[in-house]
Chain A
Amino acid sequence: QQQVKQSPQSLIVQKGGISIINCAYENTAFDYFPWYQQFPGKGPALLIAIRPDVSEKKEGRFTISFNKSAKQFSLHIMDSQPGDSATYFCAATKGGTSYGKLTFGQGTILTVHP
């Protein structure tokens, strides 16, 4: 019940295209859903996050779509750039003192070709 399932495992997109990564969770106690971006040799960095009281959040070229009834959320990267090539992780956590106790998905390796 603590799992977060992420797909696809890898994704290849042309420059300027849209990258879409999907995640599904089981635990309805989760109430904060961040996405992290990780470059080789670096730690994960927070990209964007959403709470379940909204269905969409947009920051620049990055958008999270959230479907509470389906227990699914996705990351959309518009106008994908070669510099976006990285591993993306969705995550989920409960509230209160548990915010930092993240349950991560398995990761998606995104490659954006120029």
Chain B
Amino acid sequence: EAGVAQSPRYKIIEKRQSVAFWCNPISGHATLYWYQQILGQGPKLLIQFQNNGVVDDSQLPKDRFSAERLKGVDSTLKIQPAKLEDSAVYLCASSLETRLSLHFGNGTRLTVT
């Protein structure tokens, strides 16, 4: 099966600019997650979708981060305005609703200068 697709692979922006990341999960996977992985740390969950509804966004900095999953398939994560501390790899993952294992994409590496 095709894996989780993410784009772009790399993005460099200046602070206060905006940026968007795109994720296409594995076909049929109802649950989608966005994780933030700061260099040298483990991934941290930002938001969880079930189909096109938000299940948990308690760790999403809502003053600058937003995410949506239209039609329950693709998802976008947006940062506006970006801060230096947002430099990280943004990982998208998906899973079947009742399965335990997450399938991660290769991430988007964001550098904020």
Contacts and interface: CB of A to CB of B under 8 A. Distances in A.
Interface string B53-96: 00110000000000000000000000000000000000101010
A69 interface: no
Interface in A30-75: 32, 34, 41-46, 49
Interface of A: 4, 6, 32, 34, 41-46, 49, 89, 91, 97, 99-102, 104-107
Given A100-B95, A107-B41, A43 B105 contact: yes
Q: Which 3 A-B pairs have the closest CB atoms?
A: A104-B42, A43-B104, A46-B101
Nearest to A9: B40
Given A97-B55, A100-B33, A44 B48 contact: no
Contacts, number: 53
Given A43-B104, A49-B100, A101 B56 contact: yes
Contacts of B100: 32, 34, 49, 99
B110 to A, nearest CB: 14
Contact of B42 (A32, A41, A106): A106
Contacts of B31: 100
Nearest to B105: A43
Given A4-B42, A104-B41, A106-B40, 7 more contacts: A44-B43, A91-B42, A100-B95, A101-B33, A101-B48, A101-B56, A106-B42
Specify which of A34, A104, A105 lies most central, judged by the most chain B CB atoms within 10 Å of its CB: A104
B16 to A, nearest CB: 28
27 contacts: A4-B42, A32-B100, A34-B101, A43-B93, A43-B104, A43-B106, A45-B104, A46-B101, A46-B102, A49-B100, A49-B101, A89-B43, A97-B50, A97-B55, A99-B95, A99-B100, A100-B31, A101-B33, A101-B45, A102-B43, A102-B45, A102-B102, A104-B41, A104-B44, A105-B42, A107-B40, A107-B42
